Structures are given as C-alpha cells and as structure tokens.
Amino acid sequence: MPRPFRFGVNMLTIDSGATWHEKCRHAEELGYDVLLVPDHLGMPAPFPALIAAAEATERPRVGTFVLNTGFFNPALLAREVATTDALTGGRLELGLGTGYVRAEHETAGLPWGSPGERVDHLTRTIEELDRLLGDDGHVPQPAQRPRPPLLIGGNGPRMLRLAARHAEIAAFTGGRQSPGKPEGTLELMPADQLAASVARYQEYAADRPEPAELNILVQQVLVTDDRRAVAREIAALDIGLDEEQALDAPTLLIGTPAQMAEQLRERRERFGFSYITVLDPFLEAFAPVLEELKGS
C-alpha cells in the first residue's frame, strides 16, 4: 500500500504580517499540509515566520525547507528549534541541509568550507541536536519528543547516508551544480539520475526499522494542453534537460491538472515520492492537482 500523499508549499516572500497571515490561511484553505520556509539571505527569517504561520492557521504543520546549518551553532539552533516547536504546539518539522550558495556565507561573514567540511558540520549539528533535545534537562523543551521530525535534503552519497541514518523525511532536490557555471548555479537532474540517487538512498536505508517518507521539490507547475510544446521551451533554457527528459523529470509538472495528478501517482509508484513540495509562485496552479489527489 503506497504512503498517502502530503503536500507542502515553500513560501519565499513576506511583505507584512497581515499579508503573511493571509497567505498562510489561504494555503490552509487550499488544502496544503505543510507551510515551509527556506533559509536564504533576502528571504524571511525561518523561525519567526513559522511561528507566525502557525498562529495564523490551525491544521498545517510548519517547517524549514531547508535550514542552512552553516549559519548556525548547534547549541543555539537547539534553542531555536525547541522554542519554535513549543510555540507552534508541536507542529514543527525541521529540514536541514549544508547550504549551497557561497555568496551568502561571504555576505554573512561566515566560513564557506569545502563540500566535505559542510557535510561534517551538518553531521555534528544533527548529532548535537539529538543529544541536546533528547535530554530531559534541556531548557527549553520541544513539544515533540525526543525532537521534531527531521528532514534532510541532498543527493550526494554522504548526504544520502546521513538521511538514511537520521531523517524521518528524506528530501530529493533533483538539482545539481551546473558544470562550468558559477558556484550555486543549479540545473535539473534527469529522471534516471534521480532514480539512481533514490536507489542509493534505499540501499543505505535498508536496515531502518521504519521507512522514511520521501519528498521531492517540484520546481515548476506548468498548466498546458500541449505538454510537448512546453517541454521544448524548457529544453531551450539550458537547465540540464532535453525535451524528452523535461517531460519525465520529477521536478517538473507539465499538463492539465488531471495529467499532473497522474504524473504524481506514477512517480510515487516509481520513486516512492509521496510528500510533494511546490514553490509559492505555483500555490494556485497546483491547488486543483492537490484537490484531485487529496486523501489518496
């Protein structure tokens, strides 16, 4: 029996408290299960934004998607996580990643480090969070024990191994560094390469007592009656996909709402993706797809 779908929206902008509350309530009305906030300079600060999202709504969970652990000291992060979980009534899901934009670290005056060093820091952070939040003497205490559910996002072997060992939710971005372009410039992975990442994760996770939920971030939701014409336009953008690959990429939804719903059913069967995240510019475009798949 496949795991039921869950739907999240990653919310990228904030204008005022009133408009933020309105957007969060609207996402709840449309049926989204999780309200998410990324962690980039120039975007909302994650934890206060999530507390405000929880105050404005009743049903959705809230989460980071994903936190740049290079911005945080583990002990200070544990305090933020516990406080946010307590203030949201145990609705927090904690998404963690290494960060991938060097310029943000330089702007913040923080060390960038090699890929290996960034994964090392993420590993230490996860281990410290488990230790601190699992301690009954830690103040403040999170509402969820021993800690909020953990989502780890990434595609490299070490990240997949880390997710298999620690995360309740394994997130696949479907993106990679674009060869020959500035650091932090991403391109989309074809379906076969993403399938290889999922297979590698499943190998690492074979001994888990309970299977994790698998998440995919959908980069674009493109409503059309002519899927192939849109796929040709995507191929012309030089983002790593040709026309056929664009039609098949799990990071893209192209077609009518009914066709998109069928694509997600097929991808759940093929890859195991049951937790689907879209970006907030596509909040409305994805809503009919969500409605069609609700409860399935």
Residues 6+ apart with CB under 8 A from 153: 65, 66, 95, 96, 97, 159, 171, 172, 173, 215, 217
CB-CB contact of 168 with 81 (8 Å)? no
Inside any domain, residue 67: yes
Give the whole-number percent of the chain exceeding pLDDT 90: 92
Sorting pLDDT into bands at 50, 70 and 90, what band is 179?
confident
Q: What is the mean pLDDT of residues 193-222?
A: 96
Give me the number of domains the chain comprises. 1
Inside any domain, residue 128: yes
What is the CATH number for 87? 3.20.20.30
Reported pTM: 0.96
User: Tokens standing for 80?
Assistant: 């933020």
Quote the pLDDT of residue 116.
Answer: 94
Inside any domain, residue 202: yes
**13 — phi, psi (to 5°)?**
-135, 155
Sorting pLDDT into bands at 50, 70 and 90, what band is 184?
low
Inside any domain, residue 237: no
Inside any domain, residue 242: no
Quote the pLDDT of residue 182.
Answer: 72
Question: What's the domain range around 255?
Answer: 6-221+250-293
Give the mean pLDDT of the chain.
95
**pLDDT higher than 90, residue 137:** yes
Tens digits of per-residue pLDDT, 242-262? 999 999 999 999 999 999 999
Inside any domain, residue 228: no
Tens digits of per-residue pLDDT, 47-90? 999 999 999 999 999 999 999 999 999 999 999 999 999 999 99
Inside any domain, residue 229: no
96 forms beta bridges with 67, 152
Inside any domain, residue 259: yes
